[in-house]
Structure 1
Amino acid sequence: MALKEDDIKDLGLEIGEEVKPMSVGWDCCERGCQNECQEYCESYTQGCASGCQSTCLVSCQGCEDHCERFCQNGECGSCQSCQTCQTTCESSCQDAAQKNSAPNAPSSISVPSNIKGGETINITWGAATDPDGNLAGYILEKKTDNAGFSQIYKGSSRSLSDTIVVGSNTVQYRVRAYDSYGKVSSYRTSNIITVTNNSAPEISGRDEDLGGKKAPFKINLSVSDKDSDTVNVVAKLNGSIVKTINNIKLNTNYEIEIDAARFNALALNARNEIEISATDSKATSYRRYTFARVNSAPEITLEKAIFGEQDKPFSFKYKVTDAENDACSVRILFGSKVLDYKKDVELGKEQTYTFSKLDFAKIPAGEISIKIEATDANDGVSSKIVTFNKTINGCGYVFKKDTAAKASQAIVSVSRKIDEKSTFKAYVCNNANDSNPTWEEVTDMMEKIYTLKNDKKTAAKWAFGLKVEVVRGKDAGDSYLNAIGYSYR
């Protein structure tokens, strides 16, 4: 460190005056080194009063190092000021530590009451207080089975995730607080928790919000169990049991149905919970679904649903009701084909649907399903099925067209394949508008001019008519009509 101008003058020198080098002795130390060291060390002493002793020692060591660098000669290497600094600093630290009180124990400790081997749990604890405001953190310890407690965490956090070793029988936790001087509180200790080493059953799927539901519905699920234990399943809707399956067959699909009665009894737009529990001898797992009933679907009641064998058009009856009395429409469907549509069906009144001859003819032979589908104004949809077995005894085609005058001649052409055990016939008439037309057979006159004999009508207008039919014989093979052509005058 360089001398200051005043220091030069105190030596009896003028600035710029050349002098011979001389060693710096005790007098230099007294005025230079010691004064500087005293100021330096006092500044560190003031900073030590509120710190720990280790900080003081570092500060005072720095003071001594400074003295040695400043005074290379003489006795300044052991300045009394540096010793005073260290002594004062240590004394300050000792006084603060002696006055410090230990923190209070954490207010609580929380550990899950049901613990399974192999799972990760979360331990939390309440905050501790410190009368001197020196709280630094917490020490968490764990005890497994009959072993002693061992530290698993130290720090300022108040929670820890811990994985339980499979095969453990019991676990216990305790926590205490510590301050910046190293003093610790008493322990806050948890209960001894028994560890379950059985694997809980697993329910397929995931917890899910199903959103808005407009009609009764089903949930599919299966259950597995690593230990192949006997598992019982209980499904609840808002706490009420919907279905119980004892000794469920593992890894097999099951349906949990929320039927119309339960669904329609739910309040609109309210949150509902389906809870499915699977329990073996030691553990239970859960699957939960939530949904809201946004509208009740209409309800369809059938007078009869199964109609057996049918070889000609027939009728069936149904009735539609709606819990909210919403306006409802009805469609009668064969596959995607709409056979009938009622825009605003009268609720609670019996309705009758009768197959038209043409619609019935277009339906193939065999087991047939007809759907009655009702939709309300809020898009609630429900359906019922009518079934029958259509037997075919024949097929045919009927054509009618009004004419200004009586048709007197006609030509008919039919491309066909008729089994030898079946019968084909063709007819024409000129009074097709009558309630009982006068059909004249032209089976043997295919592709020839035929002169119609009838000259009477009961209807207001004349009309040309054509009818082609195939009557199926017993044990007959396939017969069909490919194309029909005709003309008349």
Structure 2
Amino acid sequence: MTNQIIKLLCFDAKESANGNSDRRNYGNNRYIYSNLRQWLNSDAAAGQWYTAQHSADAPPSSGNVWDGYNPYNTIAGFLNGFTANERAALLATTITVGKSSTDGGGTETCVDKVFPLSCTEVNLSGDHVCGSKLAIFSDNSSRIATVSASAAANSNYDVDANQAWYYWLRDAYAWSARDARYVVSDGALRWGRACSGDFGLRPACNLSSDLLVSDTTDSDGCYTIVYNQPPTAPGTITVPSEVIGGENLSISWGQSTDPDGNLAGYKLERKVDDGTWAQIYSGSSRSYTDSITYGWTSVQYRVKAYDTAGAESAYTTSAVRTVTNNRPPVISGSDTDLGSFTTTPPSYEYTVTDADGHQVTVVEKLDTTTLRTYTATLGDTNELEITADQWLKLLNGDHALTITATDAKNESTVRTLSFDKAMHSVEFEQTVAMAADDMPTKALVNIQGSFPTGSTLQVWICNNGNDAEPTWEDITTKALTSQKHFFTNQTKTAASWGVKIKVKLLRGSAEGDCYIQSVGGNFA
């Protein structure tokens, strides 16, 4: 509410077309239709603020106000002199107004940004209870108001600046169609004709609690509103997806901008598990290193910007991150393709470590077949190997070796190593000859396996297998048809006779399974 009377004007103009003689001759005391209400809440230019509020309504021109005092239909609306910021700062307020018995009595409400106070609000007993008493009004002296210099200068009714004067309230006098309530110059309550232009105005409004007010007064002795816009919210907030209990975590966020150019910094807040938000940083940096306590289960962050006037942006909030209080084991190296192997099988050396020092069980597999399961010695070098028998039975094509390391908390890490078996031939020879008491003269060899069209099988046998250079005899056809072979060799250089077998299988153009399953037989 203004501390002085800022203008002298009527509550409402005479309404010459009104069927009620009081309102026709002295104006209408129903506030929601009053000229005063319409003018107070208009930002229209001079002469543009008035529009009829009901069929008999009339503007406050010189002919429609008492003795021509202070007409205001040709001036600009009250809010016209306010800046856009000032108008935006005014809150729309629902006010309660006392009505005349002519209009049914009781009260009604309307929504305005600027308004006179009610009898109740200035601590006077009117005809109705409208709103609540304001703390500044306690007695008559607290209600006394003086005329401002501007109001006196712009009035054609003779009144002095700083003279105690009477001013309008918004309530109708309940027993009249023409009279509205007002505060007398001594602070008491009276009623007067709505068309009287010699009455003063002390408008009130509600302002947002977020408004900033100057610390000192201006040249008029008034505190002023500081119009400051908040900065924009930081565009992003980055929190690593892996959060480890007992370790540090680096959080960063995007830059904000401030329309007034007075960005001061950022405030970072953290929420642990299902707790409340707590500020952990305030400053100009756009990153922060947080310490994650072992045992937390989840953590979340949000950041906002603030400026030198204390205005703050909206929050930018991260996703909830799960805190890992047990880290999985680490297998050295990385998933890789070991390449193509034609003769010998691949092998792979690796180490297993665990940052938490837990016992780690390792499972090595070739495709779906388990090769080995063991408890790792952390940090030691291990080797994954495929035996000759396993390699021999493995079909050509793409395969995978996997190493799975699982700690005592059931956290696992898997290393995958792919390779291609492209073995096109297999050849083996007995390393130790089968002993013979005398020179072997004949032998029967059986060979089992899959030898598809396009493949080539070769089988050799010798009876001087202990020699440095044995005499090999081709028995391929006989081995495939289970025929006896009679040795042609009858000499040896070694001390004793001995039989050896040598087999070679070439895949060639064959497709599908191609393998040697078994070789057997006897000799004499």
Q: Normalization by structure 2: what TM-score?
A: 0.36
Give the structure with the larger helix fraction. Answer: 1
Q: Which has the higher contact order (CA 8 A, sep 6+)?
A: 2
Q: Normalization by structure 1: what TM-score?
A: 0.38
